[in-house]
């Protein structure tokens, strides 16, 4: 399918690739076209899609030689030989036209419109929550109180998805206040003047700040049968501290789980698009504030440097 790119979200992954820290160009090529948070429009009818229809596309593609990929779960690929649009061995969407495998396209409802550019980061949160619920649900468990650490795009979207399910949410981050968090009905706490340990204990803790020390601390913030899910990345070599009995006693006696999650299964993409549209209906003004900077492609540098809200590159109106 030929897809015309409308808009592409920018995140830390793009920044890291542009700095040469991450990413692999396609075989026998020197350059990698970035762009994995795509919103595009179908150029011609085919495969159940119609010209003019809004679409996004999955990021990770099968390695073709593992059990998980054979079962259409490249998000759980067992070899690491997968490709990823705009990240690993496959060009991304920061170009006018892309030829895409129709099976990798995900339809965006008209009602969602340009907010469809948030589908990729939302799919990451959907997978994390689906896995959290599966892990928590292995024994009798109720998801009543959740803590989200970090209020970047992933932290915010996780907050909104949990609020959609009417979970009581506290979101903690460095800045003094965060109106977007509060518009969802979640409580915002600045970690500047509050210790996380003073917030009580939670059924679910999501770390989306990318701080390994905080990741270790999540175990000590769990209620009985609580689940901690790590989404932020922290590649720094360091020794992190954890009070011995939190790991050696409480994790066992209180049936805790700490796990990591990356990427998303196709079902998470479908859930993401669906939930984004439900969130838009419930909090229309808030959702419009998620993208704080829209720039043309040639100003990508400014988009990469942008902090505070999602930046996007606009390729077509
Ligand atoms: Zn991203
Ligand atoms: Zn695989």
CA of 66 from ligand 1 middle (Å) equals 25
Q: Which pLDDT belongs to residue 308?
A: 81
How much is the pLDDT for 193?
Answer: 84
Structural tokens at position 239: 């020794």
65 within 8 A of 50, measured Cβ to Cβ: no
Q: How far is CA 236 from CA 120, 151, 155, 233, 265, in A?
A: 25, 21, 21, 9, 28
> Into which CATH architecture does domain 2-107+283-314 fall?
Alpha-Beta Complex (3.90)
Question: What is the per-residue pLDDT for 105?
Answer: 98
75 alpha carbon to ligand 2 midpoint, in Å?
Answer: 8
Distance 113 CA to ligand 1 centre (A): 19
pLDDT per position as a tens digit, 152-210: 999 999 999 999 999 999 999 999 999 999 999 999 999 998 899 999 999 999 999 99
Query: For the chain, what percentages of helix, strand and coil (3-state, to nearest 5) are there?
Result: 35, 25, 40
Mode of pairing for the β-strands spanning 97-99 and 2-10: antiparallel
Has this prediction a pTM greater than 0.95?
A: yes
Percentage above 90 pLDDT, the chain: 97
**Nearest bound ligand to the CA of residue 62:** 2
C-alpha 249 – ligand 2 centre gap (Å): 36
Could you report the per-residue pLDDT of 270-302, keeping only the tens digit for each?
999 999 999 999 999 999 999 999 999 999 999
Cα separation, 212 vs 122, in Å, equals: 22
Give me the torsion for CA of 257, 262, 265, 268, rounded to 10°: 70
Contact 281, 298 (CB under 8 A): no
Q: Is the pLDDT of residue 317 over 90?
A: no
Q: What is the pLDDT of residue 275?
A: 98
Burial class (CB in 10 A: 0-12, 13-18, 19+), 10: buried
Among the bound ligands, the one closest to the CA of 118: 1
Query: 188 CA to middle of ligand 1, Å?
Result: 24
Region 234-252: mean pLDDT is 97
| 109 Cα–ligand 2 center, Å | 30
- Topology at the third CATH level for domain 123-260: Rossmann fold (3.40.50)
Spatial contact of 14 and 8, defined as CB atoms under 8 Å apart: no
Task: Give, in order, the Cα–Cα distances in Å from 90 to each of 23, 121, 197, 226, 263.
Answer: 10, 19, 43, 38, 16
Q: In angstroms, what is the span from residue 174 Cα to ligand 1's centroid?
A: 21
Ligand nearest to the CA of 8: 1
Name the pLDDT band for 113 (thresholds 50, 70, 90): very high
Closest ligand to C-alpha of residue 64 is 2
Q: Distance from the CA of 282 to the center of ligand 1, in angstroms?
A: 25
Average pLDDT over residues 205-229: 98
pLDDT value at position 274? 98
**Pairing between β-strand 37-42 and β-strand 291-296 as defined by DSSP bridges:** unpaired
Which pLDDT value is given to residue 309?
Answer: 87
- How far is the centre of ligand 1, averaged over its atoms, from the C-alpha of 203 (Å)? 27
Closest CA to 125 of 189, 204, 38, 23: 204
The CA 266 to ligand 2 mean position distance, Å, reads 15
Can you give the residue ranges of every domain in the chain? 2-107+283-314, 123-260
Output the CA 263–ligand 2 centroid distance in Å.
13
Proximal ligand: closest to the CA of 61: 2
User: What mean pLDDT is predicted for residues 220-249?
Assistant: 97
Q: Is residue 307 predicted with pLDDT exceeding 90?
A: no
């Amino acid at each position: 399918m030929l897809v015309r790119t409308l808009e592409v979200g920018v995140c830390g992954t793009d920044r890291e690739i542009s700095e040469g820290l991450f990413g692999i160009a396609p075989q026998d090529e020197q350059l990698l076209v970035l762009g994995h948070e795509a919103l595009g429009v179908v150029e011609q009818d085919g495969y159940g899609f119609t010209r003019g229809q809004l679409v996004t596309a999955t990021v990770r593609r099968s390695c073709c030689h593992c059990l998980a990929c054979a079962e259409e779960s490249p998000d759980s690929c067992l070899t690491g030989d997968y490709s990823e649009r705009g990240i690993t061995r496959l060009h991304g969407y920061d170009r006018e036209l892309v030829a895409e495998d129709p099976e990798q396209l995900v339809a965006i409802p008209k009602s969602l419109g340009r907010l469809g550019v948030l589908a990729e980061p939302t799919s990451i949160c959907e997978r994390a929550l689906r896995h959290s619920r599966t892990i928590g649900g292995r024994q009798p468990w109720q998801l009543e109180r959740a803590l989200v650490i970090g209020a970047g795009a992933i932290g915010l979207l996780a907050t909104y998805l949990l609020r959609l399910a009417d979970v009581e949410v506290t979101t903690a981050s460095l800045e003094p206040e965060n109106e977007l968090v509060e518009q969802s009905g979640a409580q915002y706490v600045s970690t500047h003047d509050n210790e996380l340990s003073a917030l009580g204990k939670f059924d679910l803790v999501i770390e989306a700040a990318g701080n390994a020390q905080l990741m270790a601390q999540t175990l000590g913030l769990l209620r009985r049968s609580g689940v901690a899910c790590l989404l932020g990345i922290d590649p720094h070599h360091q020794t992190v501290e954890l009070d011995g009995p939190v790991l050696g006693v409480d994790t066992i006696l209180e049936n805790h789980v700490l796990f990591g999650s990356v990427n998303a299964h196709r079902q998470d993409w479908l859930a993401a698009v669906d939930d984004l549209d439900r969130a838009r209906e419930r909090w229309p003004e808030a959702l419009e504030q998620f993208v704080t900077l829209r720039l043309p492609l040639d100003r990508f540098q400014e988009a990469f440097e942008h902090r505070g809200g999602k930046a996007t590159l606009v390729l077509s109106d």
